[in-house]
Amino acid sequence: LLNVSRQSAAGADELFGGLLSPGSDRRACLSRYQSPHYYKHSPYAPSPHLLRKLRDYEARHSRCAPGTRPYAKSVDHLRSGGSSSKEDAECNYVVWIPYNGLGNRMLSLLSTFLYALLTDRVLLVHSTDDFTGLFCEPFPGANATWVLPPDFPVADMSWLGVGSNQSYGNLLDGKKIADDPAKATAQSVPPYVYLHLAHDLRRSDRLFYCNDDQLVLAKVNWLLVQNDFYFVPALYDMAEFEAELRKLFPAKESVAHLLGRYLFHPSNSVWGMITRYYHTYMAQAEERIGVQIRMFSWATIPVDDMYGQIMACSRQEHILPDVVDGDAAASSSHVHGGSKSKAILIASLQADYYDRIKSTYYEHAAKGGGMVGVFQPSHEERQIMGQRPHNQKALAEIYLLSFSDVLLTTGASTFGYMSSSLAGLRPTMLMVPEDGKVPEPPCVRAVSMEPCFHMMPD
């Protein structure tokens, strides 16, 4: 890491080195101004080029947001079915459609925002019931909403999928859109194209990631995107964007870290959950250890085995404090000596790991005698789709994890990736079990704070 700055609460830079523009209403979004005091690491300052790009974006967003004349004009074109080419459209849009779990959503939204930055589009979100109430409006200006109004003329957006007629893949397969940029005139492209970039995308959908296809899509006024993973690495692979990305992010591992802190600000109600919990259970500790345990339905192992894996990993990487046995415990429990007090925050759908880890530090003293508290904010038992309070808890926990000094996460979990990127930390990652067996080694130190890239090779 570059110069990992441990900022004291008092010294924290309120706007992350200019990443956030000043002037937003503090009361409307408390997290925007307060979160810098909670993060323990800010390893990368934004580049001057990124700052310029963000300020340009903000100006474009407020010029083109719903409620403005260019927005109304583009929607009219869409409604009438006419094409609205880049030449006559003042503003071009990319609409993000939520899909899958919260970690997946945050990573795909962040990637879509970067795509909007690279292609001079305006990002709007199709805010479903379970998405509203999670985040503040990210862009400054009283009227610069990112929420797509409900009267947007494309109906049933949540039902768009790989089979939709308007998907880029199906338009290409049906020869309804030119695949040669030289032949795609501004008038010949449809007013909107749906980009199906989720994990079940087909070969023709995937052509989105090719330069020629980007030249065609650049002529389309409205792009609608559904995706459930981090696709920034695929943008780096495109000649058209690569040089710009290097300028925007001189350190490649800083993309999700910087854009995550720029874009995501928990709503006041979620921020209330986060700060109440933090001050009650975590603030007094001298070190905070975040542990995220995710058991995937496609890679389950017995709870005992998973607990064994966590402990083996912890011993290997020195994450959780060691304990002393028997009589030694009695004497060392009086000694608060030089050892730091520690708060271990567990995020998991299950309570089992919390119960076991908590018992360990109840029954045994930590080596060196330091105090160890073990806390878990919720255990929802299973992932629930479409429920706002469930998503709010998930968001609160992603943020509580991101305020850790040290992170142990589960490999392949976008929930864990998002916490590490926000934290500015390279986590230790538990390996995902294969064939029902505890993996060996149990975990690895991540080489980057960037989310892993989940796109299958072609």
Instruction: Rule CB under 6 A: say whether 392 interacts with ligand GDP.
Output: no
Instruction: Rule CB under 6 A: say whether 378 interacts with ligand GDP.
Output: yes
Instruction: Rule CB under 6 A: say whether 380 interacts with ligand GDP.
Output: yes
| Number of residues lying near ligand GDP (CB under 6 A) | 20
Beta pairing partners, 225: 96, 195
The H-assigned helical ranges of 251-376 are 255-263, 268-277, 303-317, 326-332, 352-363
Residue by residue, DSSP assigns 359-408 as HHHHHSEEGGG--EEEE-S---SS--TT-HHHHHHHHHHHHHHHT-SEEE
Let me know: does 167 contact 195? Beta carbons within 8 Å. Answer: yes
CA nearest neighbour of 421 among 228, 242, 230, 268 = 230
CA–CA dist 15, 197 (Å, integer): 33
For residues 277-316, which are near ligand GDP according to CB under 6 A? 294
- Compare residues 329 and 349 and give the one whose CB is closer to ligand GDP: 349
Let me know: does 37 contact 61? Beta carbons within 8 Å. Answer: no
- Compare residues 136 and 396 and give the one whose CB is closer to ligand GDP: 396
Per-residue contact track with ligand GDP, 339 to 358, x per CB under 6 A?
Answer: --------xxx---------
Which one of 62, 100, 254, 421 is in contact with ligand GDP (CB under 6 A)?
Answer: 100
> From the CB of 350, what's the least distance to ligand GDP, in Å?
9
Instruction: Rule CB under 6 A: say whether 415 interacts with ligand GDP.
Output: yes
> From the CB of 112, what's the least distance to ligand GDP, in Å?
16
> From the CB of 455, what's the least distance to ligand GDP, in Å?
14
The pair of three-digit structure tokens given for residue 16, joined into one six-digit string = 């992350």
- Compare residues 63 and 454 and give the one whose CB is closer to ligand GDP: 454
> From the CB of 273, what's the least distance to ligand GDP, in Å?
11
> From the CB of 377, what's the least distance to ligand GDP, in Å?
7
> From the CB of 118, what's the least distance to ligand GDP, in Å?
24
Instruction: Rule CB under 6 A: say whether 265 interacts with ligand GDP.
Output: no
CA–CA dist 345, 413 (Å, integer): 17
Instruction: Rule CB under 6 A: say whether 319 interacts with ligand GDP.
Output: no
- Compare residues 42 and 348 and give the one whose CB is closer to ligand GDP: 348
**Angle in degrees, CA 222, 227, 233, rounded to 5:** 100
- Under DSSP, is residue 423 helix (H, G, I), strand (E, B) or coil? helix
CA–CA dist 232, 212 (Å, integer): 18
- Residues in contact with ligand GDP by the rule CB under 6 A: 100-104, 294, 347-349, 378, 380, 383, 390-391, 393-394, 397, 413-415
